[in-house]
Structure 1
Amino acid sequence: MVKFVLMGAGGNVGGAAADFAVDLVKPEDQLVFASSNLDNVSAEKLAHWRSKGVEVVSASYDDLDSMRKAFEGADAVATISTWLIGDRRRNQIKNALDLAKEMGVKRFCYTSGAGAGVKAETEEDIPFLLRDHHYIEQLSFASGLQYNIQRNCLYAELSVR
């Protein structure tokens, strides 16, 4: 059995990823979908996920204890980047990455942005909206964990419904 945790399942991109994951998961594997605000998830969607055996939990990047509960026994953790820009977003995902490593998670996944992998001598050489993503990617590469980086095109999530 493999345990997968998806953070941000209550959002637009996270909700689409969750719906996709429910169709892909093997019967013997476990899915945990986490959202910082379960009120943002429709009752129909929650019922559908739960009918497929998904554990749905409240967990926030800003609350280490809630993430710790969600990550317990996880083999892989996927994070959906938040709408924030700057230190708070960097710290949110850094905390998730550090906690995943501490708890023995093997694979860390992150939704980044197209262009975040640019080679740059200084942060100022990176387009402003991609700086946080670049920073988090570098942390992921250096973490020692297996990782997946999904570089979405800016605003592509607006077409996901």
Structure 2
Amino acid sequence: MIIVTGATGALNGFTVEHLLQRIAPSDIGVSVRNPDRAQHLADQGVRVRQGSYDDPDALRHSFADAEQVLLVSSSDVTADVITQHRTAIDAAVEAGAQRILYTSALGTSFNSPYPPLAIHAATEQHLAESGVSWTALRNGFYGDLGDLLGPWQATGTIAKPADGPFSWIDRRDAGEAAAAILTNASSLDGPVNLTLPSPVTLTDFATHAAELSGHPVERIAVEDEEWIAGEVANGVPEAAARFTLTMFQATRSGHFAHPDPTLSRLLGRPPRTISDQLREQMVRTE
């Protein structure tokens, strides 16, 4: 059985959708904090059990009979995330899982200006010490394009701190790739980079946004402290703004500049481009 955590969220929700296209529902289980939100999966024959990264007993129960467990990285900003991840890994091992997969991030390192990458590095280290086979899905960046680019459709500008090359992938592609790895007879071991064929910059986003909208879109590089001050003036807590700034700083130092063909190979097609993603954002905001 394949057990997937975070299956009511966007990323691993897509993974379960693609697993259902590949294997029988009876071979899939999900471990979720609120089983009521996974009723649509139970209705399709997926095993649904309650589990929380803060409750080892519940995790062991929800991981029972697992051959493979896919762990989504914790999104609880108030928690000791590294401890949560270790708890989940240990529970999967104790439940008898033969392989553990984890949604990590491209550029994972203990020496990065972007704090989440050190958390992923610590988690990967614990996976390597777990005694079972493991795979770290080092996804490129994904999320809300509005947060990344700002209100470019209204302003005609992408006014953000200076950036460097990075990979912005679609969650649907990341979820599909995870399902492919989970159901592949020859599993991928250790870290696996899942990126666009070529990295992009915010200048690339501006170019494609202008082409799609038919209106000029200017990329404006704002000085770091000036950008922080503007965010705070708009009601963003300074700590949150400085956290976001570290992502831009990490792109400048080349942490996310390395392309990899693995995502395209797993999908059997090119991943969705930034133009594809921008086009869908424009449709949603019309």
Q: TM-score, normalised to structure 1's length?
A: 0.79
Structure 1 residues without counterparts, runs of 5 or longer? none
Change over 3 Å in CA distance of 1:157–1:58 after alignment to 2: farther
Report the 3-state secondary structure (helix = DSSP H, G, I; strand = E; otherwise coil) of the residue aligned with 1:147: strand
- Moved segments of 4+, more than 3 Å: 38-41, 84-87, 157-161
- Whichever structure has more strand as a proportion of its residues is 1
**Counterpart-to-counterpart distance in 1, 2:69 and 2:58:** 14
What do residues 65-92 of structure 1 show as CA deviations (whole Å, max 9, x unaligned)?
2111111121111101122358611111
CA positional deviation for 1:51: 4.3
Pick which of 94-103 and 79-88 moved more.
79-88
Matched, 1:33 2:30: yes
Q: Over the residues paired in the alignment, what is the CA RMSD in angstroms?
A: 2.2
Q: CA deviation at 1:142?
A: 2.0
The structure that has the greater radius of gyration is: 2
* Counterpart pick for 2:76 among 71, 79, 84: 84
> Which aligned pairs between 1:82-161 and structure 2 lie closer than 5 A?
82-84=74-76, 88-116=80-108, 118=109, 123=110, 125-126=111-112, 127-154=114-141, 156-158=142-144, 159-160=170-171
Give me the whole-angstrom Cα distance separating, in 2, the residues matched to 1:84 and 1:36: 12
Distance 1:149 1:82, change over 3 A: same
Where structure 2 has 5 or more consecutive residues not aligned to the other structure, the ranges are 145-169, 173-286
- CA change 1:13–1:157 in 2 (3 A) is farther
SS of 1:19's partner is helix
Where does residue 57 of structure 1 map in the other structure?
Answer: 49
Q: Verify the 8 A CA contact 1:85 1:129 in the aligned structure 2.
A: no
Q: Percent identity?
A: 27
